[in-house]
């Protein structure tokens, strides 16, 4: 009987190790107006637009429900769900206070529906600590259909001594991801975890963490399931 108990405990530990759950993401107290799903602020009395053909989900910005994300990076990475092929996507970065356009680029997407990421190119101005920037993506549907768009706000924040010590002490990428999540650093959390998921699509432990992220309050989409969506190898705009 003792041997059976030991085996059961060992199996329980093994399952816990192979199917870890992401630590609770600490949502910053700040929130900003924005649309992380296309059409959420469209006038309900306006005539319905001609929609992108054959889409199951709209264009989605992978950010918390607050439409706000913090980052340590001067050139952060943004994540989107795209509903299918598009001729192009426009990206614009705007000073949230002055309304001045900081950067704009256009890139082609040659991938099926799924999740993509875009790192702010090195040619773009660096984000400044403590400043908020509004980003906007416009998805070209073609065929005379109305474009899809999403927008939100990003802010670069400094790393505290405590956070730096935590990151230096971390021995695995998984540990770093938990630290980013516990400190409310959205862009680092989703970028590190998303890159792991993309590189290891058959890893059940990574899949479990990715799925648990979208099951957390203030993060997941009520009407759309992203857990099974493929993360595409896209998009590199170089130094445009």
* pLDDT per position as a tens digit, 34-62: 677 865 444 445 444 556 655 678 889 99
Flag whether 95 is in a domain.
Answer: yes
Task: Report the mean per-residue pLDDT for the chain.
Answer: 82
pLDDT (0 to 100) of residue 54: 58
Tell me, what's the pLDDT at 84?
73
Residue 223, domain member (yes or no): no
Domain encompassing residue 197: 22-213
Identify whether 234 is part of a domain.
no
Report yes or no on 16 lying in a domain.
Answer: no
Percent of all residues in the chain with a pLDDT value above 70, rounded to a whole number = 76
Q: Which residue has the higher pLDDT, 138 or 35?
A: 138
Question: Does residue 8 carry a pLDDT above 50?
Answer: no
Our count of domains for the chain comes to: 1
Q: What is the dihedral of CA 78, 84, 88, 90, to 10 degrees?
A: -40
209: in domain: yes
Beta-bridge partner residues of 150 = 137
Residue 230 resides in a domain? no
Confidence band for 141, pLDDT divided at 50, 70 and 90: confident
227 lies in some domain: no
**pTM for this model (two decimals):** 0.83
Residue-level pLDDT at 140: 83
Please tell me the predicted confidence (pLDDT) of residue 222. 81
Q: Which residues contact 193 (CB under 8 A, 6 or more apart)?
A: 22, 177, 206, 209, 210, 213
Rounded mean pLDDT, 106-113: 79
Domain annotation covers residue 9: no
- The mean-pLDDT minimum among 165-179, 191-205, 216-230 falls in 216-230
How does pLDDT run across 71-91, given as a tens digit for each residue? 999 999 999 998 876 668 999
User: What value does the mean pLDDT take over residues 134-152?
Assistant: 86
Q: Which pLDDT belongs to residue 163?
A: 97
Specify the higher pLDDT residue, 57 or 5. 57
Domain harbouring 74, CATH code: 2.60.40.1220
């Amino acid at each position: 009987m003792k041997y059976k108990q030991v085996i059961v405990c060992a199996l329980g530990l093994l399952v816990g190790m192979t199917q870890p759950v992401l630590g609770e993401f600490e949502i910053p107290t700040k929130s900003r107006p924005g649309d992380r799903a296309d059409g959420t602020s469209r006038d309900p009395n306006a005539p319905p637009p001609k929609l992108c053909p054959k889409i199951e989900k709209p264009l989605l910005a992978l950010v918390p429900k607050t439409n706000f994300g913090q980052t340590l990076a001067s050139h952060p990475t943004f994540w989107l769900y795209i509903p299918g092929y598009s001729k192009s996507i426009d990206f614009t970065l705007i000073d949230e206070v002055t309304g001045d356009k900081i950067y704009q680029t256009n890139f082609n997407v040659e991938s099926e529906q799924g999740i993509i990421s875009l790192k702010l190119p090195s040619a773009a101005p660096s984000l400044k600590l403590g400043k908020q920037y509004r980003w906007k993506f416009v998805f070209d549907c073609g065929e005379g259909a109305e474009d899809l768009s999403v927008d939100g706000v990003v802010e670069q924040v400094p790393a505290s001594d405590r956070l730096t010590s935590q990151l230096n002490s971390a021995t695995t990428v998984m540990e770093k991801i938990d630290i980013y999540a516990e400190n409310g650093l959205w862009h680092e959390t989703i970028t590190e975890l998303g890159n792991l998921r993309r590189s290891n699509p058959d890893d059940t432990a990574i899949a479990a963490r990715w799925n648990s992220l979208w099951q957390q309050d203030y993060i997941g989409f009520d009407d759309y399931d992203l857990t099974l969506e493929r993360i595409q190898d896209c998009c590199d705009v170089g130094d445009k």
